[in-house]
Amino acid sequence: MPTTHSKRLYLPVFFAFLLSAGPVLDVHADSSTYQTTLKSTAWVITSNADNETSTGTGVYIDSEKKLLLTNAHVVGDSRKAVIFFPARENGKLVVRRKHYLTNILKLGIQGDVVAVDRKRDLALIQLPKVPGDVTAVELAEDSTTPGSQVDLIGNPGDSDILWVYTSGTVRSVYQKKFKSTHGEHDFMAVETQSPIKPGDSGGPIVDESGKLVGLAQSFSPQSPLISFCVDVTEIRRLLQSPWRSAPLASKVLLDEAEIKYTKHSSGHYQIDQQVGKETQSVFVAKNTEYHGRADIRRIWSTVQTTTEAPDAVLMMRLLRQNTATKIGSWAIEKTDEGYVVFFVAKLDATASDETLSSTIDYVARLAAAMATDLKPKETEKTAQATLAAWLSE
């Protein structure tokens, strides 16, 4: 769970109570697992098109291809990421964030986001190099089981400290389908009793032998001690499937197409398109939607807002036009302001900037034509004005 400082997961203050209240663990075994897993753990920093910075955790999983695994919601729509692996001074682990940021030229590594699966909430970052003491974690062959002890290393964002350790118990392993602020997800989940918070997202969940059994993903809003992790079987499926990178951010695509825009208060991008002598406002959604492996970019334009519901004549007209339009459709939404009539197109989010530009023009022309048709006729305005004038006499 990331943030804009939010792409992460955090450890609650009652972590110590959890340990003392749980079963007695082999402290030496825990320490050994921590030291081993630490060699594969990374701090991930990304920035979106609006230069909002997010951070999370990642785990190095392939030394041959130099691949780092994290959550899709950690990287967002970023194509690049800055990666830090644990550093040591005089043999001691450096845990202060400031040290890494101050020494970014020495410790930071620029990586490319090469694969994103938002349904599973997984992403792969390819690195040009890694420090000599970094090792790839070993993936477990199959899912863990309820009752198993697991360990996590994360980078909770409510602290200036990195490489934080916690442990927990597996409660269940099951297929989980749910919605979050980052979209719709559907994956085999490992539910654990362990505190996870923003910043820990993408952190390695390992079993007692140090093998990766899952990736930290989120926690329950109702119970912060209940956490959800992406199961290792989903990680294996991602590695075996064709890789697909995230679509370019709408802002980046608009800039590449040299389309002038302003940022609306809603966060979406507004383009005032010239259609003849009129100007028609078209909006491009800030974020892309996705359905399975399909990424969609919404483009729309409003033509009318009324306090009264559209009549049957208008409804039939819009339905007839929907059967004829090549791209998109007419829609009506009820809002606090009234009934909004608008045209919306859903474009393949991987389409080129030229395609985006053409779609914006198409939406603007169609909406402008409808807006003109829906304007009250001049004779009607005159009649209304005449009535008002007569009544005021």
Amino acid at 64: E
Residue, of 67 and 15, whose pLDDT is higher: 67
Q: Is there a contact between 228 and 189 (Cβ–Cβ < 8 Å)? A: yes
Of the two residues 134 and 307, the one the predictor is more confident about is 134
Q: Identify which has the larger pLDDT, 362 or 249.
A: 362
The residues, any chain, with a CB within 8 Å of residue 182's CB and separated by 6 or more, are 72, 73, 118, 121
Q: Which of 215, 99, 102, 117 is CA-nearest to residue 161?
A: 99
What would the pLDDT profile of 43-55 be if each residue is shown by its tens digit?
A: 999 988 778 888 9
pLDDT in tens, 188-232: 999 999 888 889 999 999 999 999 999 999 888 887 789 999 999
* pTM (predicted TM-score): 0.72
Integer Cα distance of 182 and 68 in angstroms: 21
What pLDDT does 222 receive? 81
Q: What is the pLDDT of residue 103?
A: 97
Q: How confident is the model at residue 5 (pLDDT cuts 50, 70, 90)?
A: very low
Domains and CATH numbers, the chain: 2-240 (2.40.10.120), 250-378 (3.30.1460.10)
Instruction: Pick the closest to residue 252 from 286, 276, 225 (CA basis).
Output: 286
pLDDT in tens, 117-172: 989 999 999 999 999 999 999 999 999 999 999 999 999 987 889 999 999 999 99
355-389 pLDDT, tens digit per residue, is 899 999 999 999 998 888 888 765 555 677 777 76
8 pLDDT above the threshold of 80: no
Instruction: Work out the average pLDDT over 317-322.
Output: 86
DSSP string of 281-345?
Answer: EEEE-SS-EEETTEEEEEEEEEEEEESSPP-HHHHHHHHHHHHH-SS-EEEEEEETTEEEEEEEE
pLDDT, average across residues 335-345: 90
The proportion of the chain whose per-residue pLDDT surpasses 90, expressed as a percent, equals 55
- Write down the number of H helices and E strands in the chain: 10, 23
- The CA-atom distances, in angstroms, between 380 and each of 377, 385, 392 are 5, 9, 18
Model pLDDT for residues 271-298, shown as the tens digit of each residue: 999 998 889 999 999 888 776 667 788 9
